[in-house]
Structure 1
Amino acid sequence: MDLVVPLKEYGLTDKEIGVYLELLPLGTINLQEIAKRLEVTCFTATEPEKFLDNLDEKKRLIEGILPKLKELQEDQKQSSNVQIYEGFKGIFTILSDVFKIKQQTYYFGGYKKSLDILKHLPDQARLIRVDRNIPAKVVIDPTDEPLFHTPKYKKLTELRFLPSLEDFPAMIFIYGNKVAMFTVRGDLIGVIIENKQFSEAMKIVFDMYWSQAKSAKL
C-alpha cells in the first residue's frame, strides 16, 4: 500500500513523510543514522494512533471557528440592490413590495401629504397591509382618517403621532433587509434599497422618531 499519498493529504511534507517512514520501524535511533543536518540528537517516530488524535484536534479547531466562517460566507452572499421607480405606478409597485411578505414593518414620514398621492392609486393600495394581516409600527404627522378607526387596523398597528413630520418630504418603510421610500411632494420618485446595514441604520432613525412621538388618541 502506498503510504505517501494519504500522509501527504493529511498535511505532511515530502521531507516529513520520508523521515517518518524511515523512523517508524526503527524505534529510537541516533540522529546521524537519519540526517546529519537536523539539530536534535535522536528521533522517536510518533505512534500511528497519534494521527487520529491530531485529526480530532484539527476537527475541534475547525468546528470552533466554523460559525464565524459561515457568517463571513453569508456576509459575502448578501446582495445589495437598488431599484428606482417613478410616477403613481412606481409608488404602487413599492407598496406592493413592502407588504408582499407577512413580517413586522416600520414606517414614518409625512403621511398627510402622502394621502394626495394615495388617492390616485387603486383603492386596494391603502389596504394592502391590513388585508394581508401585516403588523406595523407607524410614526406619522397627526392625521385622522376612517381607516385608523377600524378594529383590524387597530389590532395590527401601533400608531404614534409626531407633529414635526408634517413637513417631512417622504414616506419611509423598513421591512426585513429592505428600505423603501417615496417622495410626497414634487416629482414622484421612489426607491427600494436592499441592504442589511442600510436597513439597520434606518431602523435606528425610526426608533429615534418613535421615542419622540406620542401614542395616537383616536
Structure 2
Amino acid sequence: MSLINEVLTQAGLDSKEASVYSTLLNNGGLTVLEIANKSEQKRTNLYNILEDLKQQNLVKEVKEGTTTKYFPQSPKEIEKLLERKSQMVHHAKLNYEILINSLQSQFTLIENKPLITYLEGIKGLHRLYEDINDTGEDILLLRSAYDDKRKDVDNLVSAQIVEQVKRGIHAKVIGPLEDIEEAKSLYTKYDKIRLVEERYIKNFPFNLPAQVTVYGTKTAISTIRKDIIITIIDNKDTTDTFRTLFDFIWKYSTPEHNNIVKNWVQE
C-alpha cells in the first residue's frame, strides 16, 4: 500500500475510495471509463465510490458538454477528514470512560456465570461419559442408591470403566454398602485394575436419589431412578464446593470403611 493510500484509509476511506482518489490526484480530471482503466476498479462500482467521495468533499463532478469528468479536490480536505476522525475517537473515548464500569460488570457477570448443560436418557449419559473422557481428569463420584438398578445403565457404566482405564482416569467413589459379598469381590479383585478407590459405609447417612460426579471444573448431577436426567454445571467455584464436601465425606467414612475391609486382601 502506498503512503498516500495508507493516509487515506487512516482518514476513514476504504481501499477502493483511496485508490480512486489517488488515481485522480495523479491524473487530474477523468471520465468514469478512464478511472476504471487506471484504478482497476469495476466501472459498475465507480458511481457509488465517486458519490461517496463527493459526499466527503474529495471529488467534484464537472460537465463538459455531453461528457462528465471527475476531479480531485484539494488534499487539504484529507486533513479535515483526519480532524473529524480524531474528534470521533475523542468522543468515543469519553463515552468509553463513562461506560467502562458498566461494561466491566457485565463482562464479569458473564465470565463467572456457570455454563449449565441438560442431558436426557441413555444418550445423555453416554455424552456425559464422553465429556469425562475428553476432560481426561480423575473423577470423584458420590453414588446414588439407584445407580445399579438398571441393566442398560450397568452396561454403559462397565464400558465407561474400561475407557477410563485406557485413558488413565482414576476414580474415588463413595457409596452405600448394599451387598457385602459383591463389594468384597470388587474391592479385592477389580478395584486396583479399574483404577478405583472406594469408601464403603454400611449405614449410609446420605440416601442420595441422584448421583454426583465431579471432574475438571464440572459437576454432573444425574438422576437415574426413573428417567435419566443429567445436569452438568461448568463452574470452578461450584465444583470446588462439591470437591470440599466430597473430601469431608471421604474422611468421615474412612474409619468405618477401614473396619469393613480390614480382612479383605486386594489382589
Shorter-chain TM-score above 0.5 = yes
Q: Say which of 149, 152, 156 aligns to 1:116.
A: 149
The equivalent of 2:217 in structure 1 is 177
From 137, 145, 158, the counterpart of 2:172? 137
| 1:186 to 2:254 alignment | no
Give the secondary structure class of the aligned counterpart of 2:212: strand
- Confirm or deny that 1:210 pairs with 2:250: yes
- 1:136-175 to structure 2, matched below 5 A, reads 136-142=171-177, 144=182, 148=187, 149-150=189-190, 151-153=192-194, 156-163=195-202, 164=204, 167-175=207-215
Match of 2:132 among 88, 98, 103: 98
Mean CA deviation greater in 128-137 or 163-172: 163-172
Q: Report the CA distance shift for 1:135/1:121 in structure 2 as closer, same or farther (over 3 A).
A: closer
User: What is the alpha-carbon distance in structure 2 between the residues aligned to residue 196 and residue 166 of structure 1?
Assistant: 24
1:79·1:194 contact (CA, 8 Å) conserved in 2? no
| Counterpart Cα distance in 2 of 1:122 and 1:202 | 22
Q: Identity of aligned pairs, percent? A: 23
For residues 72-119 of structure 1, the C-alpha deviation after alignment (integer angstroms, 9 at most, x for no partner) is x99974562101111111112112212323323211122x52123422
**2-structure distance, mates of 1:140, 1:77:** 35
Alignment partner of 2:213: what SS? strand
Q: 1:80·1:195 contact (CA, 8 Å) conserved in 2?
A: yes
Cα 1:200–1:123 change in 2 (3 A) is: closer
How far 1:122 moved relative to its partner? 7.5
* Secondary structure, counterpart of 2:232 in structure 1: strand
CA distance in 1 between partners of 2:157 and 2:242 (Å): 28
What is the RMSD computed on CA atoms of the aligned residues? 2.8
CA spacing shift, 1:182–1:83, aligned 2, 3 Å: same
Greater displacement, 114-123 / 181-190: 114-123
TM-score, length-scaled by structure 2 = 0.46
How many correspondences in the alignment? Answer: 143
Gapped regions of structure 1 (runs ≥ 5): 1-72
Does 2:111 correspond to 1:88?
Answer: no
Structure with bigger gyration radius: 2
Q: Which runs of 4+ in 1 moved over 4 A?
A: 73-79, 145-148
Q: Is the 8 A contact 1:108 1:173 kept in 2?
A: yes
Q: Is the 8 A contact 2:135 2:216 kept in 1?
A: no
> Which residue is 2:160 aligned to?
125
Higher relative contact order (CA 8 A, sep 6+): 1
Counterparts of 2:174 and 2:109 in 1: how far apart (Å)? 31
Q: In the aligned structure 2, how far is the partner of 1:166 from the partner of 1:113?
A: 13
2:238 is matched with: 198
